[in-house]
Amino acid sequence: MQKETLCLGLLSLGPRSGYEIKQMFEGPLSDFYSLSFGTIYPTLNNLQADKYVSCKQHSQSKKPDKKVYTITKKGMELMKDNLLSDASSYIRSGNFGDQIKSEFFLLLLFSKYLPKETMDTVLNERVLYLRQKLEQFKYDGPVPGNLDAIRNEKSVSFIRGLASSLIETGLNYMEKNRHLLKEKTK
């Protein structure tokens, strides 16, 4: 999916600044996709130049102006069109996997070259991290206003449920099977 479509999609949930869009990518969304500042800011500028979003500057003495972007009608149309062609090409491509870079799995793969205490720490920390993630996905209390809109999306409850079951499965598997990694060759 193009960065433009993605930014428009997030802005369709409500007006936001570039900084706030980045915050969305650092929240629960980070587990599925992310964009950096170096991508977000230029994209917003381009979208504004082409009238897909409008921008209101909120002066904040001495801090840089906060630029709050609102999606326009033209922007909504572009987003929907792009989304449809993205879905079509996703289907046509036949590539339904996700693009993943997992340092954890590489360390696992080469664990025989690592001291077993090191690998033990890696696993422990991963477990701790996953427990934390699980809590986040299950947490149903209030969230910062910023992230509220995305939280209330219908599809998000489906996604949160899916993520929770996956993490639970991963944790159970690791607790039951991590002893397998200890049988080292030499």
Partner DNA sequence: ATTATATATATCATTCTGATATATATACGC
Partner DNA sequence: GCGTATATATATCAGAATGATATATATAAT
Q: Considering CB distances under 5 to 8 angstroms, the limit depending on partner class, which of a second copy, DNA, none binds residue 135?
A: none
DSSP string, 159-186: HHHHHHHHHHHHHHHHHHHGGGGT----
Single out the residue of 156, 135, 134 nearest to residue 10, CA to CA: 156
- Cβ atoms of residues 12 and 76 within 8 Å: yes
Of the candidate spans 31-39, 123-131, 151-159, 170-178, the one that interacts with DNA by CB under 7 A turns out to be 31-39
Binding-site string for DNA from residue 39 to residue 68, where x marks contact by CB under 7 A and - marks none: x-xx-xx--------------xxxxxxxxx
Q: Considering CB distances under 5 to 8 angstroms, the limit depending on partner class, which of a second copy, DNA, none binds residue 79?
A: a second copy
Q: Interface with DNA includes 97 (CB under 7 A)?
A: no
Residues with Cβ within 8 Å of 40's Cβ and at least 6 positions away in sequence, in order, are 3, 7, 18, 21, 22
| Among positions 12, 30, 32, 34, the unique one binding DNA when judged by CB under 7 A | 34
Q: Interface with a second copy includes 83 (CB under 8 A)?
A: yes
Backbone phi, psi, residue 183, to 5°: -70, 90
Q: Interface with a second copy includes 14 (CB under 8 A)?
A: no
Measured CA to CA, the distance from residue 149 to residue 24 in angstroms comes to: 10
Residues making contact with DNA (CB under 7 A):
2-3, 17-20, 23, 34-39, 41-42, 44-45, 60-68, 99
